[in-house]
Homo-oligomer: A and B are copies of this chain.
């Protein structure tokens, strides 16, 4: 056990759970860094998930932000917990143009039943990094649902 009673295997639990999500595999999304209270999800550009202007679809950007928030919350939960999205709100700040997209989720409130997290989504193109989206989300511990 680590401080605060969070099991030391939080990263393993996040990676195992992520691997069970078919949609992440279908999109080609993968986990980046997994820290206590902060998780990154990456999405390389994928033409199959674009919208009518050739940008990544709002829902594809949302998918990685949602997962970044949910797994950030999971890192601070006990061993047998699972996470479900109660709700989220997403702002689209710029068109999702880039070679790769990275959602960085951070926990604002770690609760027994409800957690709150936010995520920033960046588009990477060569040396440039632009903030293209922002999410604020409520997550429930599935055992408590």
Contact = CB atoms under 8 A, between A and B. Distances in A.
A47 to B, nearest CB: 6
Interface in A125-140: 131, 134-136, 138, 140
Interface string A48-76: 11111100011110110010000000000
Given A88-B89, A109-B94, A50 B22 contact: yes
A141 to B, nearest CB: 11
A83 B137 CA distance: 20
A39 to B, nearest CB: 15
Interface residues of A, number: 49
A54 to B, nearest CB: 9
Contacts of A140: 114
Interface string A69-102: 0000000000000101111111111110000000
B138 A118 contact: no
20 contacts: A21-B57, A22-B47, A22-B48, A22-B49, A23-B48, A23-B49, A25-B48, A62-B63, A84-B95, A86-B138, A87-B90, A87-B91, A87-B116, A87-B138, A90-B90, A91-B116, A108-B134, A118-B134, A134-B136, A138-B138
A51 B50 CA distance: 20
Residue of A17, A49, A87, A92 ringed by the most chain B CB atoms within 10 A: A87
